Amino acid sequence: MTGGPDKGRRSTARRCCISSLQASAGDFNALVDAHAAAENGWHWLLDMRYAEDDRRLRIRNRVQNFNTLRRIAVNLLKQEKTNPSSVKLRRMAANWSTDYLEKVLGLPPRSKKSSVR
């Protein structure tokens, strides 16, 4: 940071973590930072794509249940590689096409025969 009232000043922050991992302080700090970066990435994706922060689920364990379902959905969309587009576009494609949704969910293709006579 150049200029401003904090020019040349150092600051420190303290984090408390509990782990059974035996690692040096530097290695442990790098792991904690990597975990925080991954969590921040998840938060951004879930908030931007699923408007998670705008959800008003406050009853019992609904928040946690829906959060888990959204994470499962994102993971399934990321694993589906036949559609080379972004997760956002894959999600839209799954919404528009039952066949693609079934592919994302790993379901076997349905028979094209109609049961109506």
pLDDT score recorded for residue 65:
80
The answer to whether the Cα torsion of 112, 113, 115, 117 is positive or negative is positive
Contact 91, 76 (CB under 8 A): no
Is residue 90 pLDDT above 80, yes or no?
yes
As a dihedral over the C-alpha atoms of residue 66, residue 68, residue 71, residue 76, rounded to 10 degrees, the angle is: -100
pLDDT band of residue 47 (cuts 50, 70, 90) is low
Mean pLDDT value across residues 31-45: 73
80: Cβ contacts below 8 Å, ≥ 6 apart:
90, 103, 104
As a dihedral over the C-alpha atoms of residue 53, residue 57, residue 62, residue 65, rounded to 10 degrees, the angle is: -20
Helix-helix angle 62-79:25-50, to 10 degrees: 90
Share of residues in the chain with pLDDT > 70 (%)? 69
pLDDT score recorded for residue 4:
59
Rounded to 5 degrees, φ, ψ at 39 are -65, -40
Domain spans, the chain: 25-105
Q: pTM score, two decimals?
A: 0.48
